[in-house]
């Protein structure tokens, strides 16, 4: 199945990530240029699906806590001005006040479909430092305090309510939320990555009905754009990214991004969403 890009090239992706609905950043492999329903693409996707379906890794994936959605939830109506938007895009924060401790405490992840998992809580300071990574002299957002609460995000087992640190931001009525528990340890995939190329998938969000995934697909300045193929089984969904066509003339080294919507034959459910190039679950 071939699915073509359906929007113009996307720039400033990092700064806008928090505002994009249903986004998965997917950089197509420069050296892995099979396209459409090419047999090589299909063979690799089938290899990945066959290795994962029924595997111990897949069982562990379904038992653990593996977020596939944003671990950050912005305040309602964010942002109030361009400066605050720029500050968040650059991850520029300042701390004014004390942050609470949660030493030795545990939190419980609760799935809408049933079941729960108890995990150690992250300290508020650790959570703050995870999001406050900026260091330039531009605009800043000011954190004035934090308390423990909850948030909902997408996981490998469907939507879940997770413990979250609720950071109070100066000038905002609602908090910035950040998940307060770390994901389960990474799994060892049952299949090796392909020898050529590199595929990097990030920022996964699935449509509420589970029937589509929208991605940002990378391509170059001298091609006709990205293609995302999908192979579905009863236990997995394998995505393959590539580019099609060539254009005459000088080429730049720019990475261009376009939105691509991948339609599924049925809701994703608890099937594992996989990257055909790496053979790993999408982070």
Q: What pLDDT, on the 0 to 100 scale, is given for residue 215?
A: 74
Q: What pLDDT, on the 0 to 100 scale, is given for residue 259?
A: 80
Is this structure's pTM higher than 0.85? no
Mean pLDDT score of the chain, rounded to an integer? 79
Query: Quick check: 65 and 116 in contact, CB under 8 A?
Result: no
β-pairing verdict for 141-155 and 158-169: antiparallel
Q: Where are the domains of the chain?
A: 2-64+187-275, 72-179
Q: Would you call 130 helix, strand, or coil by DSSP? A: helix
Estimate to the nearest angstrom the gap between the alpha carbon of 139 and the chain centroid.
26
The per-residue pLDDT for range 39-86, each reduced to its tens digit, is 457 899 999 999 999 999 999 888 899 887 778 999 998 899 999 999
Residue 147: band (very low, low, confident or very high) from pLDDT cuts 50, 70, 90: very high
Q: Would you call 225 helix, strand, or coil by DSSP? A: coil
pLDDT above 90 coverage of the chain, percent: 40
Spatial separation of the C-alpha atoms in residues 31 and 28, rounded to whole Å: 9
The per-residue pLDDT for range 5-35, each reduced to its tens digit, is 333 333 333 333 333 333 344 443 333 333 3
* Strand runs labelled E in the chain: 2-4, 25-27, 72-73, 93-95, 106-111, 116-120, 141-155, 158-169, 176-179, 200-202, 212-219, 226-232, 236-243, 256-263, 272-275
Query: Quick check: 136 and 182 in contact, CB under 8 A?
Result: no
The per-residue pLDDT for range 167-198, each reduced to its tens digit, is 999 999 999 999 999 898 888 899 998 855 45
């Amino acid at each position: 199945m071939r699915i073509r890009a359906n929007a113009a090239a996307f720039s400033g992706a990092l700064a806008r990530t928090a505002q994009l609905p249903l986004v998965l950043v997917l950089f197509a492999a420069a050296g892995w240029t099979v396209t459409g329903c090419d047999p090589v693409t299909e063979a690799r996707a089938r290899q990945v699906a066959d290795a994962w379906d029924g595997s111990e890794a897949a069982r562990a994936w379904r038992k653990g806590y593996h977020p596939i959605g944003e671990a950050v939830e912005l305040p309602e109506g964010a942002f109030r001005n361009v400066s605050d938007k720029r500050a968040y895009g650059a991850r520029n924060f300042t701390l004014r006040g004390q942050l609470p401790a949660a030493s030795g405490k545990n939190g419980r992840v609760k799935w809408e479909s049933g079941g729960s998992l108890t995990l150690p809580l992250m300290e508020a300071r650790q959570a703050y430092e995870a999001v406050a990574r900026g260091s330039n002299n531009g605009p800043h957002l000011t954190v004035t305090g934090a308390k423990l609460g909850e948030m909902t995000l997408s996981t490998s087992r469907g939507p879940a309510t997770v413990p979250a640190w609720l950071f109070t931001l100066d000038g905002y009525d609602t908090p910035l939320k950040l998940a307060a528990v770390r994901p389960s340890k990474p799994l060892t995939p049952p299949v090796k990555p392909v020898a050529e190329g590199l595929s990097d998938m990030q920022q996964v969000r699935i449509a509420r009905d589970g029937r589509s995934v929208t991605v940002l697909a990378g391509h170059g300045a001298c091609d006709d754009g990205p293609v995302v193929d999908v192979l579905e089984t009863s236990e997995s969904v394998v995505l393959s990214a590539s580019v099609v066509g060539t254009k005459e003339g000088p080429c730049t080294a720019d990475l261009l991004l376009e939105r691509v919507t991948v339609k599924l034959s049925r809701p994703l459910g608890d099937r594992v969403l996989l990257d055909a190039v790496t053979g790993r679950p999408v982070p």
